[in-house]
């Protein structure tokens, strides 16, 4: 694996995001909704740096099998009531944009006062939708990445850095 973003760089990116969110909401209560499972590490690191009353919930999505995008499934049964609240949707990566777009549409139907989105990573040149999240920590090249919550077949999420997964790494992963 080739390290793309070190643990230090990721921490600095989370600090930058936290500063932007603190400036945007200026102490107003905020409901955070993380997209499972990739956003868990980002969400945990980020919420400890926020300076406003928080409610935290999750929505589960799945769209990848190995390195290939498949059909999107959304399970919102664990999501908080967001009606009449300022909401920040957190995801790990903005690739084609379809997942975040569909989850955003679902959440808009639930009546939040405001809805913004945040991603750790925006994969350059892959977007197939006409909008971007309001908060983005890093633009990255079009490579398959793992670590800091991102996985390949449910492995590598625990890496404290972000790495480019190379073909030899894919072959070595247990089934």
Peptide bond into 37 cis (omega under 30): yes
Q: Which residues contact 45 (CB under 8 A, 6 or more apart)?
A: 11, 14
- In this structure, the number of other CB atoms found within 10 A of the CB of residue 46 comes to 24
How far is it, in rounded angstroms, from Cα 142 to Cα 129?
A: 16
Where in the sequence numbering do the catalytic residues fall? 95
SS3 call for 67: coil
Answer yes or no: are the C-beta atoms of 63 and 38 closer than 8 Å: no
Kindly provide the residue ranges of all beta strands, DSSP E only, lying in 77-151, ordered along the sequence: 86-94, 114-123, 135-140, 145-146
């Amino acid at each position: 694996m080739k390290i793309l973003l070190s643990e230090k760089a990721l921490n600095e990116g989370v600090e930058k995001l936290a500063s932007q969110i603190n400036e945007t909401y200026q102490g107003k209560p905020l409901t955070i909704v993380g997209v499972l499972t990739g956003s868990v590490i980002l969400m945990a690191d980020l919420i400890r740096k926020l300076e406003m009353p928080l409610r935290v919930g999750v929505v589960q999505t799945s769209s990848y099998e190995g390195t290939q995008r498949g059909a999107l499934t959304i399970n919102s049964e664990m999501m908080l009531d967001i009606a009449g609240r300022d909401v920040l949707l957190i995801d790990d990566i903005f690739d084609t944009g379809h997942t975040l777009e569909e989850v955003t549409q679902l959440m808009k139907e639930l009546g939040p006062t405001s809805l913004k989105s945040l991603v750790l990573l925006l994969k350059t040149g892959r977007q197939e939708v006409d909008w971007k999240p309001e908060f983005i920590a890093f633009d990255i090249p079009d490579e398959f990445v793992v670590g800091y919550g991102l996985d390949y077949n449910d492995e590598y999420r625990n890496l404290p850095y972000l790495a480019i997964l190379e073909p030899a790494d894919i072959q070595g992963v247990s089934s």
